[in-house]
Structure 1
Amino acid sequence: MPGLGTLILLRHGQSTLNAQGRFTGLLDPPLTTRGRGEARHAAETLAAAAFIPEIILSSTMARAVETAELVTGLLTAGTASVQTAWELNERSYGSLTGRRRKELLAEFGPQVLHYWRRSLYAAPPPMTPRQLAAIGRSHAVAAMPPGTARPTESLNAVATRVRGLWHQTLRPLLHAGSEVLVVGHGNSLRALCLVIDSLTEDEVEGLNLPTGHPLEYRFHPGFVPYPRAGTYLDPGAAADAVGVLAADGGT
């Protein structure tokens, strides 16, 4: 029987709305030039670690798919294809979607904004049906099953959908010994870490995942991760990036 496979989690590179300091959520912007550079650097980091993915899963959103395709092209020369899974899509940020963080800080204050952004069970105020319908016309959201694009979402709701992906798709692949790359978003990957590591509320509130830094998970039998919380393949650069994220209020 083969050993358990390796899982790499990768947050997409910087998007145009990330660069503007806006809450992106279910909006579907492309990568910036910096974001494409982050994807290429992630591929170089994976190559240096001799990790060649057999299975690549991405959210349906353009910024994640573009990251996955750039990484895959550089690592496998096109011999592996990117598969999409809507469960990896970013959370719905409700009425915060598209708005600048600085404006929201001035309007609601840091404590309220932190509560909506970082806690496990809180959800921002919902967007209007008209806003949701407009977002639903994008290719990424149209690819989601009916009713799964919501007016707002808590991180716990995101964890519910990624938990299904973990048990139904990722665990069987890893059990078969596959090397798996998952490209997602700040919150969908936070939720996946919550599931894999059985994080507490405080731990998930403090978790920040920077763009473009591969996070490796290896597992003991029973899918017990070692070490808990995984290992960044470029730990020094990742620690610096996490520090910048934390200073900006988090993922």
Structure 2
Amino acid sequence: MPAPGRLLLLRHGQSVLNAQDRFTGLLDPPLTPAGVEEAARAGTLLASSGFSPDLVFTSTLRRTRDTARIVLDSMGATEVPVRAAWELNERSYGSLTGRARNELLTELGPEVFRFWRRSYYGAPPPMPGTQLRRIRRSRAFAGLPPEAVQATESLCAVIKRVRTFWHQHLRPRIREGEDLLVIGHGNSLRALCLVLDRLSHAEVEALNIPTGHPLAYRFTPEIVPLVRGGEYLNPLAARTAAAMVAAAGGT
């Protein structure tokens, strides 16, 4: 058996709605200029670390696909195949989708706001049917199964789809020695970290993953992480960025 491959996780660069501090969810905004720079820096960091992916997985949303393109261009690795998977899409924030977080905090109060935003089981009220149908007709979801676009989701629901993707698509490739780069979203990557590290509900609720900072996992032959929680390639910068995310209320 070959030695297990490595897994690098990367949250996409800052999007337009990230910059506006809005619940993005299944909306499909582009990257900001700052997000483009984050993706390019991530690619440079990956290249300098010696990491060369055999395959890149993204979600079907443009902010991850554009991040992948910029990262691979920065690495000089544009020939690496990229596959989009809806299971890696961001969580559906239901009726919160597109809303400004500070307005909702004032409207809902801190307890309800945190329950819908960060808890393991909490799901916001469903988004209106017109918005749901519009999202389903968008380019990011063309040809995907109905379960790819939910009217609302809890973090628990995201974890279920990400766990299935891990067992069906990521774990077998890592076992065969492939090095993988997964470019996802705050919640889909938190879900993947829960699966990898067997996080408790409290641990995943407290976890924040900043945009643009590669997180590396190496594995034992049994495909157990050698370091629980992985290792950021630039740990000081990543910790600072994660603290800023936490101060703003979390991923």
TM-score range, shorter chain: over 0.9
State the shift of 1:143 in Å. Answer: 4.3
Q: One-letter code of the match for 2:71?
A: V
**Is 1:103 paired with 2:98?**
no
Q: Distance in 2 between matches of 1:143 and 1:39?
A: 28
Contact 1:72 1:81 in 2 (8 A): no
SS in 2 for 1:50: coil
| Distance in structure 2 (CA, Å) of the matches to 1:72 and 1:58 | 12
Letter in 2 for 1:245: V
Alignment of structure 1 residues 81-160 onto 2, 5 Å: 81-160=81-160
How many residues are treated as equivalent by the alignment?
A: 251
* CA distance in structure 2 between the partners assigned to 1:5 and 1:54 by the alignment: 10
What value does the CA root-mean-square deviation take over the aligned residues?
0.9
**Post-superposition CA distance 1:47-91 (Å, at most 9, x none):** 111101111000000000000111112224322121111100001
Question: Percent of aligned positions with the same letter in both sequences?
Answer: 58
Question: 2:18 touches 2:24 (CA, 8 Å); kept in 1?
Answer: yes
Q: Which residue pairs with 2:244 in the alignment?
A: 244
Could you say what secondary structure the match of 1:219 adopts? coil
TM-score (norm 1): 0.98
Runs (4+) off by over 4 Å? none
Q: Which moved more, 1:21-30 or 1:137-146?
A: 137-146
Shift of 1:226: 1.5
- Counterpart secondary structure, 2:238: helix
Deviation at 1:32, TM superposition (A): 0.4
- In the aligned structure 1, how far is the partner of 2:131 from the partner of 2:167? 33
Gaps of 5+ in 2: none
Is 1:23 the counterpart of 2:23? The answer is yes
CA–CA separation in structure 2 for the residues paired with 1:22 and 1:172: 36
Where in structure 1 are there 5+ consecutive unaligned residues?
none
Match of 1:209 in 2: 209
Tell me the CA shift for residue 224 of structure 1: 1.2
What CA distance in whole angstroms lies between the structure 2 residues aligned with 1:216 and 1:77? 18
1:147 and 1:216 mapped to 2: Cα distance? Answer: 30
